[in-house]
């Protein structure tokens, strides 16, 4: 069956990504009066500082939407937003949500063990409503458009083009998923570094735990569709919110 138009495959995933960028912009706007800005931007109007702050995620969302629109369907990766798959059934959505909650429990439990074993000061406590909204919409939608819809699709397409000429090779999907998951984890380092000099324990925590989460989301995308990965990613943040409230 012929895939939907490129405009459809690009437009709706990108529009969805803008929801998360809007929430991020709201958060940044509220923090501008308290941030120590570099001298080069400290004198700019607040709206210009906001646009500069959002330029990187906006560019990555555009690139991810373009890459997914052009390449995802070539390697069997699909999305309801893009029109290349039906919307997930209640059963599939529930399964994805349960995977996301399991990831939250796993990561939260790992933090508990790390704290007890090393005495490290790990960020674990109540999550505010604003943080929850940012995690669900920016993490669950925008990051999935950037990374799974865009980067994973591009890597999978490139690997199959080079190594899969004699047929589909499932191992290539896992290689693309693993690379994407590692880059997903590395993408969390700037937020950690902004808090000061991180300890080796904190670095390992961010890299290992986010890589595990990324592998789970990528697996759901590959076996199902983009919306399954979005549901799981959002559910992970809901799980953190619940567990953080119970721990606090």
Mean pLDDT of the region 237-242: 94
CA angle 244, 58, 189 (to 5 degrees): 45
Q: pTM, whole model, 2 decimals?
A: 0.92
Neighbours of 231 (CB within 10 A): 26
Q: What pLDDT is recorded for position 118?
A: 74
How many C-beta atoms lie closer than 10 Å to residue 32's C-beta?
13
Interval 165-220: pLDDT, tens: 655 566 889 999 999 999 999 998 887 777 677 788 888 888 999 999 999 999 99
DSSP of 38-82: -HHHHTS-HHHHHHHHHHHHHHHHHHHHHHHHHHGGGGT---TTT
Residue of 14, 37, 31, 232 whose CA lies nearest to 140: 232
What is the distance of C-alpha 197 from the center of its chain?
24
- Whole-angstrom Cα distance, residue 162 to residue 175? 13
* CB of 62 closer than 8 Å to CB of 54: no
Buried b (16+ CB within 10 A) or exposed e, 132-160: bbbbbbbbbbbbbbbbbbbbbbbbbbebb
Lowest pLDDT segment from 16-20, 30-34, 81-85, 125-129: 125-129
SS3 146: helix
Distances (CA, A) of 21 to 8, 53, 128: 20, 10, 18
Q: What is the pLDDT of residue 126?
A: 61
Query: Which one-letter DSSP state was computed for residue 134?
Result: I
Which secondary structure element, helix H or strand E, spans residue 33, and what is its range?
Answer: none
Q: Classify residue 151 by its DSSP letter.
A: I
């Amino acid at each position: 069956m012929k895939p939907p138009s490129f405009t459809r495959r690009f437009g709706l995933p990108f529009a969805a990504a803008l929801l998360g960028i809007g929430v991020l912009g709201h958060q940044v706007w509220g923090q501008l009066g308290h941030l120590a800005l570099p001298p080069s931007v400290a004198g700019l109007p607040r709206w210009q500082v906001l646009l500069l702050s959002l330029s990187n995620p906006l560019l990555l969302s555009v690139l991810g939407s373009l890459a997914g629109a052009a390449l995802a369907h070539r390697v069997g990766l699909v999305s309801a937003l893009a029109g290349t798959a039906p919307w997930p059934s209640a059963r599939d959505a529930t399964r994805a949500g349960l995977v996301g909650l399991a990831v939250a429990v796993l990561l939260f439990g790992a933090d508990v063990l790390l704290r007890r074993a090393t005495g490290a000061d790990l960020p674990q406590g109540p999550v505010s409503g604003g943080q929850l909204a940012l995690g669900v919409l920016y993490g669950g939608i925008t990051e999935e458009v950037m990374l799974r819809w865009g980067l994973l699709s591009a890597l999978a397409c490139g690997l199959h083009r080079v190594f899969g000429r004699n047929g589909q090779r499932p191992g290539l999907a896992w290689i693309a998923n693993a690379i994407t998951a590692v880059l997903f984890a590395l993408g969390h380092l700037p937020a950690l570094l902004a808090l000061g000099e991180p300890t080796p324990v904190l670095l390992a925590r961010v890299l290992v735990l986010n890589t595990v989460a990324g592998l789970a989301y990528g697996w759901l995308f590959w076996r199902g569709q983009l919306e399954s990965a979005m549901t799981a990613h959002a559910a992970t943040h809901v799980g953190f919110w619940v567990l953080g409230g119970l721990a606090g």
